[in-house]
């Protein structure tokens, strides 16, 4: 059974700092991995989707990497801003293109002005 772990559970940084969020998964046979952000009481916003054949994806100040063989993904946020404060979730989809996403518990990020 696939399990997804995100460390740390919470992170507080000063504005302007570069930071890395970690995601690990137990079964390396994944189809793809998706990073989301969630503001309190709101829905999920898709940030990046990495296919199993890819090593990284970039969108603006965000860069996500994937090392499938070691079961790890990282989300790098450059020059953090207070508006980046949210909970970041990673989710993996099983090989074969399963419709089911398995989520980690998320990392709650606070960027202090």
Partner 1 sequence: DTEVTQTPKHLVMGMTNKKSLKCEQHMGHRAMYWYKQKAKKPPELMFVYSYEKLSINESVPSRFSPECPNSSLLNLHLHALQPEDSALYLCASSQGGSLEQYFGPGTRLTVT
Binding site for partner 1 (CB under 8 A): 31-32, 34, 36, 41-46, 49, 89, 91, 93, 97-101, 103-106
The CB-of-2 to partner 1 minimum distance in angstroms stands at: 13
Other beta carbons less than 10 A from residue 15's beta carbon: 13
**Checking DSSP bridges between strand 19-25 and strand 72-77, what pairing results, if any?**
antiparallel
Residue 11: which of 2, 21, 3, 23 has the closest Cα?
21
Nearer to partner 1, 17 or 55 (CB): 55
Which residue lies nearer to partner 1 by CB, 13 or 44? 44
**CA–CA separation, 8 and 37 (whole Å):** 15
Residue nearer to partner 1 on the CB measure, 5 or 74: 5
**Closest distance between partner 1 and the C-beta of residue 43, in Å?**
4
CB of 16 to partner 1, least distance (A): 28
Beta bridge partners of 108: 10, 87
């Amino acid at each position: 059974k696939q399990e997804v772990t995100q460390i740390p559970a919470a992170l507080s940084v000063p504005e302007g700092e570069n930071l890395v969020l970690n995601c690990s998964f137990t079964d390396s046979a994944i189809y793809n991995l998706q990073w989301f952000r969630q503001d309190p009481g709101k829905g999920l916003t898709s940030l990046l989707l990495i296919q199993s054949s890819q090593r990284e994806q970039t969108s603006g100040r965000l860069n996500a990497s994937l090392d499938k063989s070691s079961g790890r993904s990282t989300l790098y946020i450059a020059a953090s801003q207070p508006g980046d404060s949210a909970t970041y979730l990673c989710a993996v989809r099983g090989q074969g293109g399963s419709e089911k996403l398995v989520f980690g518990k998320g990392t709650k990020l606070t960027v202090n002005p």
